[in-house]
């Protein structure tokens, strides 16, 4: 504990664990009484920096050292992060504008790491008063009474972050506070007396970060309250002016359309928010896959040969579904398509592979396109539809998205590969049945009838000695790819068979040139990404 302690201008000390308030018993380096704190602070007691100054100086230290600023936030290195850093260096309160599932909350929670590890507070004070300059009447009285002997406590940075989701039923009492008549009666106090106040979330966030998600959903009256604090540091509770110079870094999030809609945000509040920062969905499939890999629960406890495997092309297909959905005209653009879609879809596809594997006693479980279709329940709730989509139904729209995603990924892997031999076999009248719960062995035996089909699996990066479940997944991907690009057909009765329509369907998105920084495709040619 002492080894990590540091005495510095911010009176902060080494990492401290819960309980939240802890009066340190004995320590040489860490002040435990007001007198000791005063000695560390110097004779006159240099003013503790404001939260925004504290964040700024810690940020500068990290920038100098080249430390990661927001670990786990992927794809914002050149867009959101620089703007956010500028906002924090400017000591701004700021708002993140973005659609759902764009890591806004993760960024806000990441601000905690820019706070000092802990700060000195008056024990028990709801406002986390600085013992050297208490705000509230109770603490001021206590300092006067106890002087240098007053114990002090240390508050860790995790306890200095307060987050609230704005909903229409959030009240002023929730955010700012209320007059507590019982407290008043007990203390024999006037109702307007500061000591009768019951503080809301914002005063309790004093000396920390106060984050409000979906700011436009907050009632106008509360927005005025927030504005007063940003402007004057002045909290008005139930008409009683209580002047509290709160020290808070305020951060907000909003859907861009709500935020810019006239009348949803009171203009003076908007004017006081220093920086407006736009978030966005991952711009490349590569970044998106990195996020999904980080967030999805796919590394599951299992015996080694039973662990579920997710081939690269399946990860790509799952990711591509989200890209297709965001470009899909039948899906509502204003609410967006969260990154949670590919995350839950990948988890569900892995589970379906696990389930089949357990039923058939075939290991390892390897996910295939069939499992992505089985993951429909994790897809359909993740977007809201336009009228045309409503007519078609969420299931059908989701199936269309999967098919378009498979087409795009398949083209990326097989663009320069000759698949004519396989297509001709189907054109000559051949067909392959589909058994969703069948064994890989049976499927492969059936697929072996198609000349050249098994050889094509090498193009997916399949290793020569791959287990049957891996090979079956690769064959399934090829067949689904040929179906998605309309080279063959698929139906419940006949399985895969010759194409019924001639013109190949183009994927919804425009293609883009390949990236040089893409992960290499094992065993395959350099692959193009279509974002």
- Site stretch for Zn ion (CB under 5 A), options 117-125, 299-307, 351-359, 464-472: 117-125
Nearer to Zn ion, 142 or 487 (CB): 142
- Site stretch for Zn ion (CB under 5 A), options 123-131, 346-354, 462-470, 479-487: 123-131
Q: Under rule CB under 5 A, how many of the chain's residues touch Zn ion?
A: 5
Task: Report the distance separating Cα 17 and Cα 286, nearest Å.
Answer: 38
- Site stretch for Zn ion (CB under 5 A), options 15-23, 122-130, 144-152, 313-321: 122-130
Nearer to Zn ion, 148 or 436 (CB): 148
Task: Report the distance separating Cα 117 and Cα 16, nearest Å.
Answer: 8
Shortest spacing between CB 196 and Zn ion, in angstroms: 14
Nearer to Zn ion, 129 or 295 (CB): 129
Nearer to Zn ion, 128 or 315 (CB): 128
- Site stretch for Zn ion (CB under 5 A), options 121-129, 219-227, 428-436, 454-462: 121-129
Our finding on whether 125 is near Zn ion (CB under 5 A) is: yes
Three-state DSSP at 452 gives coil
DSSP state of 290: H
- From its phi and psi, is residue 177 left (phi > 0), alpha (psi between -120 and 50) or beta? left
Task: Report the distance separating Cα 531 and Cα 514, nearest Å.
Answer: 10
CA 131 to each of CA 57, 400, 451: distance values in angstroms, whole numbers, following the listed order: 22, 62, 81
Q: What angle do CA 246, 247, 251 make, to 5 degrees?
A: 110
Closest CA to 530 of 417, 410, 403: 410
What would the two tokens of residue 332 be? 């509502």
Shortest spacing between CB 134 and Zn ion, in angstroms: 5
Our finding on whether 247 is near Zn ion (CB under 5 A) is: no
**Pairing status of strand 161-165 against strand 208-213:** parallel
Shortest spacing between CB 155 and Zn ion, in angstroms: 12
Contacting Zn ion within 444-483 (CB under 5 A): none
Shortest spacing between CB 225 and Zn ion, in angstroms: 20
Nearer to Zn ion, 1 or 141 (CB): 141
| CB-count burial class (<10 Å; 0-12, 13-18, 19+) for 8 | exposed
Lay out the site mask for Zn ion across 5-44 (x = CB under 5 A, - = otherwise).
Answer: ----------------------------------------
Block residue for tokens 């379906």: 352
- Site stretch for Zn ion (CB under 5 A), options 111-119, 129-137, 399-407, 500-508: 129-137
- Site stretch for Zn ion (CB under 5 A), options 131-139, 182-190, 297-305, 483-491: 131-139
Three-state DSSP at 432 gives strand
Nearer to Zn ion, 121 or 472 (CB): 121
Nearer to Zn ion, 136 or 155 (CB): 136
Shortest spacing between CB 130 and Zn ion, in angstroms: 9
What would the two tokens of residue 287 be? 């970044």
Task: Report the distance separating Cα 363 and Cα 440, nearest Å.
Answer: 10
Contacting Zn ion within 136-195 (CB under 5 A): 136, 139
Our finding on whether 130 is near Zn ion (CB under 5 A) is: no
> How many residues would you count in the chain?
531
Nearer to Zn ion, 247 or 354 (CB): 247
What would the two tokens of residue 510 be? 């425009």
Q: Which residues pair with 199 in a beta bridge?
A: 177
- Site stretch for Zn ion (CB under 5 A), options 62-70, 134-142, 184-192, 343-351: 134-142
Residue 204: CB atoms within 10 A of its CB come to 15
- Among positions 54, 129, 159, 347, the unique one binding Zn ion when judged by CB under 5 A: 129
What would the two tokens of residue 404 be? 């378009």
Contact 447, 425 (CB under 8 A): no
Nearer to Zn ion, 139 or 308 (CB): 139
Nearer to Zn ion, 142 or 382 (CB): 142
Q: Under 8 Å CB-to-CB from 196, ≥6 apart: which residues?
A: 179, 180, 181, 183, 184, 187, 189, 190
Shortest spacing between CB 139 and Zn ion, in angstroms: 3
Shortest spacing between CB 175 and Zn ion, in angstroms: 19
Binding site for Zn ion (CB under 5 A): 125, 127, 129, 136, 139
């Amino acid at each position: 504990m002492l080894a990590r302690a540091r005495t510095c201008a911010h009176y902060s000390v080494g990492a401290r664990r819960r309980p939240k308030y802890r009066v340190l018993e004995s320590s040489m380096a860490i002040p435990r009484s007001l007198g000791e704190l005063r000695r560390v602070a110097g004779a006159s007691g240099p003013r503790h920096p404001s939260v925004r100054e504290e964040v700024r100086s810690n940020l500068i230290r990290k920038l100098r050292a080249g430390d990661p600023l927001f670990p786990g936030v992927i794809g914002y290195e050149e867009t959101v992060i620089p703007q956010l850093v500028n906002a924090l260096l400017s000591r701004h309160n700021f708002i993140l504008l973005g659609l759902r599932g764009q890591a806004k909350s993760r960024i806000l929670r990441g601000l905690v790491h820019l706070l000092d590890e802990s700060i000195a507070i008056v024990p028990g004070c709801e406002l986390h008063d600085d013992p050297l300059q208490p705000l509230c009447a109770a603490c001021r009285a206590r300092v006067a009474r106890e002087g240098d002997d007053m114990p002090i406590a240390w508050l860790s940075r995790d306890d200095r972050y307060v987050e609230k989701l704005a909903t229409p039923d959030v009240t002023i009492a929730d955010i700012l506070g209320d007059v507590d008549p019982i407290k008043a009666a007990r203390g024999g106090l006037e109702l307007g007396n500061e000591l009768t106040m019951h503080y809301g979330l914002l005063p309790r966030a004093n000396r920390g970060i106060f984050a409000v998600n979906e700011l436009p959903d907050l009632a106008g009256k509360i927005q005025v309250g927030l504005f007063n604090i940003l402007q004057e540091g002045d909290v008005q509770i139930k008409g009683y002016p209580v002047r509290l110079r709160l020290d808070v870094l305020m951060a907000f999030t909003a859907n861009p359309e709500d935020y810019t809609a006239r009348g949803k945000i009171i203009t003076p509040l908007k004017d006081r928010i220093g920086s407006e920062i736009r978030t966005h969905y991952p711009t490349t499939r590569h970044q998106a896959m990195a996020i999904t890999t980080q967030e999805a629960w796919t590394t599951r406890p299992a015996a080694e040969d039973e662990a579920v495997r997710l081939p690269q092309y399946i990860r790509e297909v799952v990711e591509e579904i989200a890209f297709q959905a965001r470009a899909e005209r039948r899906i509502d653009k204003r609410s967006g398509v969260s990154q949670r879609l590919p995350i839950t879809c990948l988890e569900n596809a892995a589970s379906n592979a696990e389930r089949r594997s357990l039923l058939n006693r075939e290991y390892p479980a390897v996910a295939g396109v069939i499992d992505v279709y089985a993951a429909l329940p994790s897809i359909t709730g993740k977007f809201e539809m336009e009228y045309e989509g409503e007519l078609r139904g969420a299931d059908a729209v989701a199936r269309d998205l999967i098919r378009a995603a498979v087409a795009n990924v398949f083209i990326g892997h097989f663009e320069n590969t000759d698949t004519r031999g396989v297509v001709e076999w189907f054109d000559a009248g051949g067909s392959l049945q589909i058994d969703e719960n069948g064994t890989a062995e049976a499927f492969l035996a059936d697929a072996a009838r198609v000349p050249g089909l098994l050889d094509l699996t090498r193009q997916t990066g399949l290793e020569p000695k791959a287990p049957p479940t891996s090979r079956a997944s690769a064959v399934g991907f090829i067949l689904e790819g040929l179906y998605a690009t309309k080279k063959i057909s698929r139906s419940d009765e006949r399985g895969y068979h010759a194409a019924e329509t001639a013109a190949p369907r183009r994927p919804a998105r425009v293609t883009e040139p390949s990236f040089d920084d893409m992960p290499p495709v094992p065993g395959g040619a350099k692959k193009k990404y279509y974002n």
